[in-house]
Amino acid sequence: MLAEILKLAYDTARSPENENLLSFCSLFILCRRKEDAIKTKISNALLYMYNFFFVFLKFFVKSQHRLIA
């Protein structure tokens, strides 16, 4: 469905009167890809922070047990 819509938009935009529309469609697709890449990077960064927090917490708890013992 999405491919058909994009093909129709591309075919419509290829006509000489609609050159700006083609540029807009291309820009929109590039922005969506970049947005998805940014979301992936943010989610990866959050995952690394989450993992680091639990490693730090585990280390902190072990060091507290050593101080108590």
For the chain, what is the largest distance between any 2 Cα atoms, rounded to a whole number of angstroms? 81
Residue 45 has pLDDT above 80, yes or no: yes
Domain total for the chain? 1
Of the pLDDT bands very low, low, confident and very high (cuts 50, 70, 90), residue 63 is confident
Residue 64 has pLDDT above 70, yes or no: yes
Mean pLDDT, residues 23-30? 63
pLDDT at residue 67, rounded to an integer = 62
- Integer Cα distance of 47 and 52 in angstroms: 9
Of the pLDDT bands very low, low, confident and very high (cuts 50, 70, 90), residue 20 is low
Mean pLDDT, residues 27-35? 68
48: domain range?
A: 2-68
